């Protein structure tokens, strides 16, 4: 069985570099998809309260027969639950839906700076970690100024920042900032939400290695030292996206892929402007 490389977080714990993302996987389908992934060798799953599939994710883990402690489970605090008390309550509700008494990584899904409540929310997450129910805590979609504020006001540095990151939007400045603060960068939408599957430049590199475009992208992001969570709800693609440990991109491939970065390559909303609440 392939074992996925582990990254060491700033709290001393480790996390598998490759996992399955389950955004837009319907509640009842999530159990099948998670079970398929765990059967294929994945040991990490990324969900969120806002994906509304936590019960299915928990069910898939239980059905797979893989021990809970062998699965790296991430979920995220919903945008409607910022604030100390609301966050504490929402976290317990997530645990209940997942059917577990802890998560490996709990992330604040978006900073929502216009509501100015992310520092209080972070304080709650620090408490959750102290309580032992969130083994590691991190954030998602945080810009430099948001990170500086939570670190400045609490002294607690998030272990992870999960951000939009793919070959067309490589977030080099954020990654450099993360590195100086010992924060792991996790790539969401590694395949550009599917938009990069037909990319001719990446196809050339893929052909050279006898691999697909998604496999080439995932391999590139792994070689860049990132945590990567490609989503698929298709069993053969789930398996294919995990089959990335039998080849290595050479320096020229990596250089070509690095040059695909584009300042306007973002597909998702800008974190400083996104104000959506469920
Ligand atoms: N923190 C955040 O704000 C945030 C935001 C977005 C995403 N995320 C996380 O990141 C994960 C991944 O991002 P994402 O869901 O946006 O997109 P993605 O992983 O970049 O791409 C998923 C899309 O690519 C397709 N696909 C996957 N593997 C493929 C393959 N081997 N061949 C052809 N097509 C393939 C999938 O289709 P099928 O499913 O039909 O196979 C789906 O349409 C999410 O599931 C979620 O966990 C986090």
Give a yes or no: residue 117 inside a domain.
yes
Give a yes or no: residue 180 inside a domain.
yes
Beta bridge partners of 267: none
E strand segments, 141-220: 160-164, 184-188
Q: Which residue has the least CA distance to atom 17 on ligand 1?
A: 193
Give a yes or no: residue 267 inside a domain.
no
Give a yes or no: residue 249 inside a domain.
no
Distance of CA 21 from the midpoint of ligand 1 (Å): 6
Residue segments in the chain with a per-residue pLDDT below the cut of 70: none
List C-alpha distances in Å: 205 to 63, 214, 215, 249. 38, 11, 11, 8
Give the pair of three-digit tokens for residue 104: 């490996």
Q: From the candidates 42, 51, 106, 118, which is the catalytic residue? A: 51
Give the tens place of pLDDT for each residue, 241-278.
Answer: 999 999 999 999 999 999 999 999 999 999 999 999 99
For residue 3, the model assigns a pLDDT of 84
Give the residue, out of 34, 106, 189, with the most ligand 1 atoms within 8 A of its beta carbon, to mutate for a pocket test.
189
Residue 252 makes CB contacts below 8 A (sequence gap 6+) with: none
Distance of CA 36 from the midpoint of ligand 1 (Å): 16
Query: Can you say how many angstroms the Cα of residue 94 is from the centroid of all Cα atoms in its chain?
Result: 17
Query: What is the atom index within ligand 1 of the atom nearest the CA of 110?
Result: 3
Q: Is 51 a catalytic residue?
A: yes
- Euclidean distance between CA atoms 65 and 58, whole angstroms: 12
For residue 270, the model assigns a pLDDT of 97
Reduce the DSSP state of residue 72 to 3 states and report it: strand
Give the residue, out of 194, 217, 221, 222, with the most ligand 1 atoms within 8 A of its beta carbon, to mutate for a pocket test.
194
Quote the domain boundaries for residue 182: 6-192+225-232
Torsion of CA 41, 32, 46, 40, to 10 degrees: 10
For residue 234, the model assigns a pLDDT of 98
Give a yes or no: residue 24 inside a domain.
yes
Structurally, the chain folds into a number of domains equal to 1
Give a yes or no: residue 35 inside a domain.
yes
Give a yes or no: residue 34 inside a domain.
yes
Give a yes or no: residue 116 inside a domain.
yes
Can you say whether the dihedral through the CA atoms of 269, 264, 238, 16 is positive or negative? negative
Asked whether 197 lines ligand 1 (CB < 6 A), one says: yes
How many other CB atoms are found less than 10 A from the CB of residue 179?
12
Which domain CATH number covers 89?
3.20.20.100
- Euclidean distance between CA atoms 263 and 133, whole angstroms: 38
């Amino acid at each position: 069985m392939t074992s996925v490389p582990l990254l060491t977080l700033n709290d001393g714990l480790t996390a598998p570099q490759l996992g399955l993302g389950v955004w837009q996987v319907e509640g009842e389908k999530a159990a099948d998809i998670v079970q398929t992934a765990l059967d294929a060798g994945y040991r990490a799953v990324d969900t969120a309260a806002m994906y509304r599939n936590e019960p299915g994710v928990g069910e898939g883990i239980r059905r797979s027969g893989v021990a809970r402690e062998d699965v790296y489970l991430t979920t995220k605090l919903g945008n409607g639950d910022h604030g100390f008390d609301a966050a504490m309550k929402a976290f317990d509700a997530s645990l209940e839906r997942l059917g577990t008494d802890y998560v490996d990584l709990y992330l604040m899904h978006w900073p929502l700076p216009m509501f100015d409540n992310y520092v209080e929310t972070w304080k709650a997450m620090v408490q959750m970690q102290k309580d032992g129910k969130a083994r590691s805590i991190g954030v998602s979609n945080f810009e430099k100024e948001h990170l500086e504020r939570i670190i400045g006001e609490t002294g607690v540095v998030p272990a992870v920042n999960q951000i939009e990151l793919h070959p067309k939007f490589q977030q080099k400045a954020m990654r450099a900032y993360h590195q100086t603060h010992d924060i792991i960068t996790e790539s969401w939408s590694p395949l550009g939400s599917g938009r990069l599957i037909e990319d001719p430049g990446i196809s050339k590199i893929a052909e050279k290695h006898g691999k697909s475009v998604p496999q080439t992208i995932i391999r590139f992001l792994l070689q860049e030292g990132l945590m990567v969570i490609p989503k698929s709800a298709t069993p053969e693609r789930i398996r294919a996206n995990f089959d990335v440990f039998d080849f290595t991109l050479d320096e020229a491939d990596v250089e070509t892929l690095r040059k695909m970065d584009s300042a306007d390559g973002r597909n998702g909303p800008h974190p400083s402007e996104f104000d959506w609440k469920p």
